[in-house]
Amino acid sequence: MTFVKTVTATAFGALMATSAIADGHAQSWDMPMAYAATNFHSEHGVIFADLVREYTGGAIDITVHPGGSLFGGGDIKRAIQTGQVPIGERFMSAHANEAPLLGWDNLPFIATSYEDNARLWEAARETVNAQLADLNLVALYTCPWPGQGFYFNQEVNSSADTQGIKFRSYNSATATFAEELGMIPVQIEAAELSQALATGVASAFISSGSTGYDRQVWEHLSHYYKVNAWLPRNYVMVNTQVWDGLDAGVQAGIQQAADETSASCAAKSEELADFYFQELEGNGMTVQDAGPEFLAELEAIGAQMTADWLETAGADGQAILDAYNAN
Ligand code: PCA
């Protein structure tokens, strides 16, 4: 692992120094991604790389490294910010602990359909991009996961059933959610989820059907409660200096590839949402809507989480919600 990182950093340094595009040479970009190679996000990373090669006339040659194989999910953003790799992909709201605004897509029960999620992104996009610029990043495209619900190894009708359960969280907001339900959160990457469930480090989590399917969680868990609490997004980001160093034609080619990939990825996510539930059921899990008592509790916790987010995200956060609600 260390070896791979060193090679990547060295290759990238050389690439920066020679400004390959100005010289007319192709640039090779390693692109770390956090999720399984067969996941639609990762598959779209490969589609994106192909389109970039095509639209830049081969000037940018991206190699996708899925499944946290080059950098683990938690390390990808820093690797890009510090120039160890030029580009990569990560779950956006995982960065809300550092920049609260990036939790815009993790607000419970605000935008629960693909259509509303797209409207919320339109309302948030400019502010989010400004926030990312402060972090030395340029977002090229985002793509939503299907709606989020709860996985358990037992029937759950209310928080009376969730006390003391070890819960895999994927960001600080989901850790809060777990605590409010009397559970004990532990943050674990999707790539490590199967192992965490197998060893009892966690026995519940919130996610889409997609991650349960990717990690075959029916081997460990019995119930999925559809809640559709939010549709969080992954984003593909590039280091600002790398981006600024490209000529306008190359930038335009990459952005066209990003726009097309974004649309295709969102459509695929929506197309697959029910398929995942069928697969969970087909492999023996009980997949059902959350019951009224549980749902009412989730909604109350959700309202508090949105209020907390507005406090930390400030006027910019309120402006996003106001713009969303005005449409
Ligand atoms: N899967 C990812 C993030 C959201 C989702 O649906 C995960 O569980 O890590």
Taking only the tens place, the pLDDT of each residue in 166-196 is 999 999 999 999 999 999 999 999 999 999 9
Q: What spacing in Å lies between the alpha carbon of 24 and ligand 1's midpoint?
A: 40
Q: What is the atom index within ligand 1 of the atom nearest the CA of 205?
A: 8
Q: How far is 247 from 197, CA to CA, in rounded Å?
A: 47
Answer yes or no: same fold for 9-145+232-273 and 149-230+285-326.
yes
Nearest C-alpha neighbor of 123 from the set 101, 139, 138: 101
Q: What spacing in Å lies between the alpha carbon of 145 and ligand 1's midpoint?
A: 7
Q: What is the atom index within ligand 1 of the atom nearest the CA of 211?
A: 1
Q: What spacing in Å lies between the alpha carbon of 54 and ligand 1's midpoint?
A: 30
Residue nearest to atom 8 of ligand 1 (CA): 207
Nearest C-alpha neighbor of 6 from the set 89, 76, 73, 85: 85
Query: CB neighbours of 6 closer than 8 A, spacing ≥ 6?
Result: none
Q: Which tokens is 59 given? A: 């000037």
Residue nearest to atom 4 of ligand 1 (CA): 207
Q: What spacing in Å lies between the alpha carbon of 165 and ligand 1's midpoint?
A: 19
Q: What does the domain layout of the chain look like in residue ranges?
A: 9-145+232-273, 149-230+285-326
Ligand 1 pocket by Cβ (under 6 Å): 91, 145, 170, 190, 207-208, 210-211, 232
- Residue 25 has a pLDDT of 74
182-234 pLDDT, tens digit each: 999 999 999 999 999 999 999 999 999 999 999 999 999 999 999 999 999 99
The conformation of residue 309, written as its DSSP 8-state character, comes to H
Report long-range pairs for 52-59 (Cβ below 8 Å, ≥24 apart): 52/253, 52/254, 52/257, 54/257, 55/253, 55/254, 55/256, 55/257, 56/249, 56/250, 56/253, 56/254, 56/257, 57/253, 58/26, 59/21, 59/26, 59/27, 59/250, 59/253
What CATH class has 149-230+285-326?
alpha beta
Q: Which tokens is 220 given? A: 């460990």
CB 31 within 8 A of CB 65: yes
Higher pLDDT, 3 or 245: 245
pLDDT > 90 fraction of the chain, expressed in percent and rounded: 92
- Residue 23 has a pLDDT of 52
Q: Point out which residues pair with 169 in neighbouring strands.
A: 187
CATH 3.40.190.170 fits 9-145+232-273, yes or no: yes
Res 45 pLDDT > 70:
yes
Q: Which tokens is 69 given? A: 């194989």
Q: Which tokens is 282 given? A: 């087909």
Residue nearest to atom 6 of ligand 1 (CA): 208
User: Which of 38, 90, 112, 207 is the pocket-test mutation for ligand 1 (most atoms within 8 Å of CB)?
Assistant: 207
Q: What is the atom index within ligand 1 of the atom nearest the CA of 146?
A: 6
Q: What is the atom index within ligand 1 of the atom nearest the CA of 91?
A: 3
For residues 31-46, give the mean pLDDT.
98
Looking from the CA of 313 toward its CB, the CA atoms found within 13 Å total 27
- Residue 327 has a pLDDT of 77
Number of neighbours of residue 208 by Cβ within 10 angstroms: 24
Q: How far is 35 from 20, CA to CA, in rounded Å?
A: 30
Q: What is the atom index within ligand 1 of the atom nearest the CA of 189?
A: 9
Q: How far is 14 from 12, CA to CA, in rounded Å?
A: 5
Start-end of H helices in 172-247: 172-180, 193-198, 209-214, 240-244
Q: What is the atom index within ligand 1 of the atom nearest the CA of 73?
A: 9
Q: What spacing in Å lies between the alpha carbon of 150 and ligand 1's midpoint?
A: 11
